[in-house]
Amino acid sequence: MKATEPITAETPDLELEHGCLLCGGTLSIRLRPGTARSVCRTCGWWSKPLMEREEDGMHVHHRASGRA
């Protein structure tokens, strides 16, 4: 596999178009052993998604949370 862009510290492992729960922007995801971190390139929302590999592909989940 030949990379078309140089890989830097800012290069995400994967991007999901329309993946941001807040604004619908592109969600950039970095994967590390046992964890994942994501940031929306449009609104700047940071999250810690749960990722699971299933028969039909990769599933990305966000835990529901909030403050009253």
Give the chain as a 3 state SS string. CCCCCCCCCCCCCEEECCCCCCCCCCEEEEEECCEEEEEECCCCCEECCEEEEECCEEEEECCCCCCC
Task: Report residue 1's pLDDT band, with 50, 70 and 90 as the boundaries.
Answer: very low
14-57 domain in CATH 2.20.25?
Answer: yes
- Contact yes or no for 61/54 (Cβ under 8 A): no
Q: What is residue 68's predicted lDDT score, i.e. its pLDDT?
A: 52
* Tens of pLDDT, residues 12-26: 788 989 988 889 999
* Tens of pLDDT, residues 36-57: 888 998 999 888 888 888 888 8
Q: What is residue 10's predicted lDDT score, i.e. its pLDDT?
A: 64
